[in-house]
Amino acid sequence: MNNLNTSMFNGKNILITGGTGSLGQALTNRLLKTEVNQIRIFSRNELKQIEMEEKFQDKRLRFFIGDVRDLSRLELAFEDVDYIFHAAALKHVPKVEYNPFESIKTNIIGSENVIAASISNNVKKVVCIGTDKAVSPLNTYGATKLLMEKLFVSANNYLNEKRHPTKFIAVRYGNVLGSSGSVVPKFIEKIKKNEQLTITNSKMTRFSITMDEALDFILNALYQGKGSEIFIPKIRAYEINELKNALFELLKNTGEEITGIRTGEKLNEVLINEYEIPHSWEINDMYMILNPALSTKSMLELSKIYPNIKKLNKFENYASNNVEKISKNDLKNIITNAKLI
Q: Which residues of 280-304 are buried (b: 16+ CB within 10 A; e: fewer)?
A: bbbbeebbbbbbeebeeeeeeebee
pLDDT tens track for 229-249: 999 999 999 999 999 999 999
pLDDT of residue 4: 72
Contacts of 189 (CB under 8 A, 6+ apart): none
Active site residue 190: no
- Give Cα separations from 323 to 236, 281, 317 (angstroms): 6, 17, 10
> Position 155: which residue type?
A
Catalytic residue among 133, 145, 244, 266: 133
Q: How many CB atoms lie within 10 A of CB 131?
A: 23
β-pairing, 175-176 with 205-209? parallel
Domain-by-domain residue ranges, the chain? Answer: 6-174+210-235+270-319
pLDDT of residue 163: 84
β-pairing, 125-129 with 167-171? parallel
Alpha-carbon distance of 34 to 222, in angstroms, equals 15
- Give Cα separations from 335 to 1, 187, 252, 255 (angstroms): 22, 12, 15, 20
Using an 8 Å Cβ cutoff, are 183 and 238 in contact?
no
Confidence of residue 320 (pLDDT cuts 50, 70, 90): very high
Share of the chain above pLDDT 90, in %: 79
- Mean pLDDT value of segment 151-155: 94
Instruction: Report the chain's C-alpha Rg in angstroms.
Output: 20
Name which residue leads in pLDDT, 196 or 313.
196
pLDDT tens track for 161-203: 778 899 999 999 988 887 777 899 999 999 999 999 999 999 9
Share of the chain above pLDDT 70, in %: 98
Using an 8 Å Cβ cutoff, are 261 and 269 in contact?
no
Q: Which CATH class is domain 6-174+210-235+270-319?
A: alpha beta
pLDDT of residue 1: 46
Alpha-carbon distance of 87 to 95, in angstroms, equals 18
For residue 195, give the nearest of 252, 246, 262 by alpha carbon: 252
pLDDT of residue 2: 52
- Mean pLDDT value of segment 218-234: 95
